[in-house]
Amino acid sequence: MEFMPNFKLYRPDNVDDAIKIKTEHAEARYVAGGTDMIVNVRRGIEQPQSLVDLTSISNMNDITEVDGGLEIGANVTLRNVQKNQIIQQNYPCIAEAAGSVAGPTHQQYGTVGGNLCLDTRCLFYNQSEWWRQSNDYCLKERGDTCHVAPSGKRCFAAFSGDLAPSMLVYEAEINVVGPSGSRRIPLLELYRDDGMAHLTLGPGELVERVHLPMALAGDPSRYEKARIRGSIDFPLAGVAIRLRKGKGNAVEDVAIALTAVNPYPKVISGLQDLIDGNIGEDQLDFIRDTVRKQSKPMRTTTVAPWYRRRVVGAIARRLAAELSA
């Protein structure tokens, strides 16, 4: 299937109506920019009978300063995130990440919520209908075998969103709304280690907005990723790092998060030994090795897992060196 199938499109102008429609049509899918979903629909990977367009919900379209931080609506485009001066000044790696997604046209339409909820990707999944049919469907879609790990019954498709790691290093929280009401949770709790069902959203739930804490605003940060081509392509490995220095250039706080090397955005643990010390060659090597150990790339792209593991460690080391200089 390389054409758009018939489906019914709903365009609610408020969150409550969107949730009601989704609840009444369990097979429906939420959509905003659609830069990834529509491709999957054309390929037959996703076959929704209904789409609920969220772009007319005005209270999800703003970037707002609030007590305690900054709130970004889920419908805000990646281009607007990239160009927002408050984000550039106070949360720089988030602006970097938004500006690194695909190309300008994708950034013009792709949204914060869409990038955070991006479907996991795999060489055996993100293919045309005829390719998947000819090579046998995979565990994630209509098949019973994971071609990455045929002996198991687990999907290893990788999460490849750019915004999630950049927001995780700033300890972002999200507002989730659904049939049972609204709740705020740490962004990290949106994800689980499962390539088939990597989001923890319940039936009918959607991400309404992101909250970035003021306590970490202004901390220096960077985001960088490796990909086959310098535009369009999803990351093979990506790193966000936030590093704040204090007296004598000693590390006061540091956080690192990864994308594209696990089925979920990975926050690196075990960095506490860096606090109150200076960053030298030994500490940079420690960061590189720690990142490599906690990244778990599988054969989900055309690039070998061992290479992606080496690359993600090298990126982390280089960014840490830049921020600690």
Would you state the pLDDT for residue 133? 86
CB neighbours (10 Å) of residue 303?
Answer: 17
pLDDT digits (tens, 9 = 90+) for 147-170: 988 888 889 999 999 999 999 999
Tokens of 217: 């605003």
What's the rounded mean pLDDT across residues 295-322?
96
φ/ψ region of 217 (left if φ > 0, alpha if ψ in -120 to 50, else beta) reads beta
Query: In this predicted structure, which of 5-19, 34-48, 85-99, 153-167 has the lowest mean pLDDT?
Result: 34-48
DSSP summary character for residue 199: B
Say if strands 69-73 and 181-186 run parallel, antiparallel, or are unpaired.
unpaired
Which of 250, 239, 241, 237 lies closest to 91, judged by CA?
Answer: 241
pLDDT band, very low/low/confident/very high, at 41 (cuts 50, 70, 90): confident
Q: Where in the chain is the domain with CATH 3.30.390.50?
A: 58-117+158-324
Q: What's the whole-number average pLDDT of the chain?
A: 94
Q: How confident is the model at residue 40 (pLDDT cuts 50, 70, 90)?
A: confident
The whole-number average pLDDT for the span 296-304 is 93
Q: Is the pLDDT of residue 2 over 70?
A: no
Three-state DSSP state, 235: coil
Instruction: Compute the average pLDDT of residues 229-255.
Output: 93
Q: How far, in Å, CA of 270 to CA of 167, rounded?
A: 19
Q: Is the pLDDT of residue 72 over 90?
A: yes
Of residues 206, 199, 188, the one with CA closest to residue 157: 199
Q: Which pLDDT score, from 0 to 100, does residue 165 have?
A: 98
Categorize the per-residue pLDDT at 128 as very low, low, confident or very high, splitting at 50, 70 and 90: confident
Residue 45's pLDDT band, with cuts at 50, 70 and 90, is: confident
pLDDT-above-70 percentage for the chain? 99
Q: With 70 as the cut, is the pLDDT of residue 1 above it?
A: no
If pLDDT is split at 50, 70 and 90, which confidence band does 37 have? confident
Span 270-298, average pLDDT: 97
Residue position matching structure tokens 């709903």: 10
Burial of 306 (0-12, 13-18, 19+ CB in 10 A): exposed
Report how far Cα 246 is from the mean position of its chain's Cα atoms.
30
Global pTM reads 0.95
> What is the arithmetic mean of pLDDT over 231-251?
93
CATH number (2.30.110.10, 3.30.43.10, 3.50.50.60, 2.60.120.380) of 1-56 reads: 3.30.43.10
Q: Where in the chain is the domain with CATH 3.30.43.10?
A: 1-56
Question: Residue 46: is it exposed, middle or buried by C-beta count within 10 angstroms (0-12/13-18/19+)?
Answer: middle
Is 90 exceeded by the pLDDT of residue 257?
Answer: yes
pLDDT of residue 325 exceeding 80, the answer is yes
Quick one: which H or E segment has residue 306?
A: helix 305-324
Q: Which two tokens stand for residue 323?
A: 């921020």
pLDDT at 74 over 90: yes
On whether the CB atoms of residues 190 and 159 are closer than 8 A, the answer is: no
Reply yes or no on whether the pLDDT at 216 is more than 80.
yes
pLDDT for res 230: 79
The closest of 160, 128, 157, 152 to 140, measured between CA atoms, is 157
* Chain centre distance of CA 147: 24
In terms of phi and psi (left: phi > 0; alpha: psi -120 to 50; beta: otherwise), the region of 125 is alpha
CATH class, 58-117+158-324 region:
alpha beta
Q: Any idea what the Cα angle at residue 260 is, between residues 255 and 263, rounded to 5°?
A: 95
- Whole-Å CA distances, 292 to 80, 239, 272, 287, 316: 33, 11, 17, 9, 9
Strand partners, 225: 238
